[in-house]
Structure 1
Amino acid sequence: MSGPGHFESRAEVYDRARPPYPQALWDRLRELGLLRSGARVVELGAGSGLATAPLVAAGARVTAVEPGPALAGLLRRRLPAVTVHETTAEAARFDPGSFDLAVAATAVHWFDLDVVLPALHGWLRPDGALVVFRHAFGDPTVAPTPFRARVAAITGRRGGPPRPGPGELDTQEWATRLSGGGRFAPSHVEEFRWRAELSADGVRDLFSTFSDWSPAEVAEAGRAVEDLGGRVVEHYVVPLIVLRRRRVPPVLRSAV
């Protein structure tokens, strides 16, 4: 299944299989003065709360937007202090200046940015910021491992056009796209690299949450891990883009 609804259908597996974001990311947001106690944060596409929990732990007052009922339910049970709106980023409505910070964690590629960016600009206070980050599975700066070679063989057999829009690691292109229209300006761009060891079952769970992987492909990836000794090391990249809210140019004011 391709599309954000795939995560809803795999909510419990998604919650246990998706890795946490690296501590270095949260440390950087603190250093930039964005992650602090009392900050009013809106998180779009919050899922089951993998990014929400560290925001709450830092003392932020979080409002989460999540369209999937199962994922929203997991989020409510895990973090009862969070206000959860069960709707899409495009349909959400908040008062002007309601938030200090907006966060999109492994979600922005699903948004209609022509709708969401003007809305975010209105919801943020004048000196607010938008923070975008995601997991990219497979670090191109690391020499290909035998497991990554097997993964590349699986995805290389696919037909059809690639997913539209910038890729997972087209970080500068994402920064340009998110700043288009003059509402936001990039102020910090960085990539964090880390790794984790996974079992065959862990790979099957994780890859089954990828919206562009079929069940047959997931099973093949699991067998690859078994062939390689039962455990493999996955190398990850987490690109971070911080954008500051700008005063809207006069030509755009009528559209906000």
Structure 2
Amino acid sequence: MVDPMHFDARAEIYERARPPYPEALWRRLCAVGLLAPGVRIVEFGAGSGQATAPLVEAGAEVTAVEPGPALAARLRARLPSVRVLVETAEAVALSDAAFDAAVVATAVHWLDLDVVLPKLHRALVPGGRFAVWRTVFGDPTARTAFRDQVERIVARREDPPRRSGPGELDTAAWARRLSVGDLFTEEFTELYRWSVDFSSDQVRDLFLTFSEWSAAEADAAAKAVDELGGQVTEHYLSWLILMKRADSSPA
């Protein structure tokens, strides 16, 4: 089973290695009014602030919930205006109707939604938004020599790590899961394709942050980049699901 605290043990690498989210995603959040001055946002699984920073830059008042103390310390240093709670989304105490919106960026698969969704419903104002997005590191429609090498590395695993919940590309299943209990309704789901260039050192760092990758596997991926000329273009997907808080709890 993968370890959710894997990221905290690699907080320094995580902060420098994880790429930003695509601009199209931020433009969409701006267009629907979620990114605006004074919007009160709670973010679950904030990490070192890859999603938090653009929220702050847009003028939002952010409360970041991050269970990893090392990541939380980096988040505080990077964004001193953010209220950082070192706690899990399941255990954190949130006041009723305290937030206009909630955000979970590439972390929803770690949450116990049976606990989090009712808590979030109480914490949001009527009509509040819940934005969930995730980067999929590897677009299956974009075949490259590097991705072929990545698949060979993964295929050598004797005991592949397992994670519960829908597959990372199954947005329809995620939307249904977020709608369980009729606490939230889906407004829309969108998919963004983008790419980024990496050196071998950048690939090693990034793959070290993946919870299912070992250090030896990350080294093998970096070696593959060197063999392909020292730089590769990675093609990624990011999906966004925007949910709206139901006006009242089910009877």
TM-score of Structure 1 vs Structure 2, range by shorter chain:
over 0.9
For 1:182, the equivalent position in structure 2 comes to: 182
Instruction: Could you tell me which runs of 5 or more consecutive residues in structure 2 were left unpaired when the two chains were aligned.
Output: none
- CA distance in 2 between partners of 1:167 and 1:155 (Å): 17
Q: Give the conservation status (yes or no) of the 8 Å contact 1:11–1:70.
A: yes
Q: Give the conservation status (yes or no) of the 8 Å contact 2:182–2:250.
A: no
For 1:121, the equivalent position in structure 2 comes to: 121
Taking structure 2 as the reference length, the TM-score comes to 0.97
How many correspondences in the alignment? 250
For 1:254, the equivalent position in structure 2 comes to: none
Instruction: Could you tell me which runs of 5 or more consecutive residues in structure 1 were left unpaired when the two chains were aligned.
Output: 252-256
Q: Specify the code of the residue in structure 1 equivalent to 2:41.
A: V
Q: Specify the code of the residue in structure 2 equivalent to 1:126.
A: P
For 2:91, the equivalent position in structure 1 comes to: 91
- CA distance in 2 between partners of 1:151 and 1:166 (Å): 22
For 2:41, the equivalent position in structure 1 comes to: 41
**What is the CA distance between 1:249 and its match in structure 2?**
4.7
For 1:71, the equivalent position in structure 2 comes to: 71
For 2:15, the equivalent position in structure 1 comes to: 15
- CA distance in 2 between partners of 1:102 and 1:130 (Å): 5
**Are positions 1:200 and 2:196 aligned together?**
no
- The alignment's C-alpha RMSD in Å is 1.2
- CA distance in 2 between partners of 1:191 and 1:3 (Å): 27
**What is the CA distance between 1:159 and its match in structure 2?**
3.3
Q: Specify the code of the residue in structure 2 equivalent to 1:146.
A: A
Q: Specify the code of the residue in structure 2 equivalent to 1:155.
A: V
Query: What's the CA shift string for 1:8-37, capped at 9, x where partnerless?
Result: 000000000000011111100011111111
1:1-256 matched pairs, under 5 angstroms: 2-142=2-142, 144-160=143-159, 162-251=162-251
Q: Specify the code of the residue in structure 2 equivalent to 1:69.
A: P
Q: Give the conservation status (yes or no) of the 8 Å contact 2:197–2:233.
A: yes
Q: Give the conservation status (yes or no) of the 8 Å contact 2:171–2:239.
A: yes
Taking structure 1 as the reference length, the TM-score comes to 0.95
Q: Specify the code of the residue in structure 1 equivalent to 2:67.
A: P
Query: What's the CA shift string for 1:100-145, capped at 9, x where partnerless?
Result: 0000001110001110011000000011010001111011222x10
- CA distance in 2 between partners of 1:55 and 1:247 (Å): 25
Q: Specify the code of the residue in structure 2 equivalent to 1:171.
A: T
Identity of aligned residues (%): 58
Q: Give the conservation status (yes or no) of the 8 Å contact 1:182–1:248.
A: no
**What is the CA distance between 1:166 and its match in structure 2?**
1.3
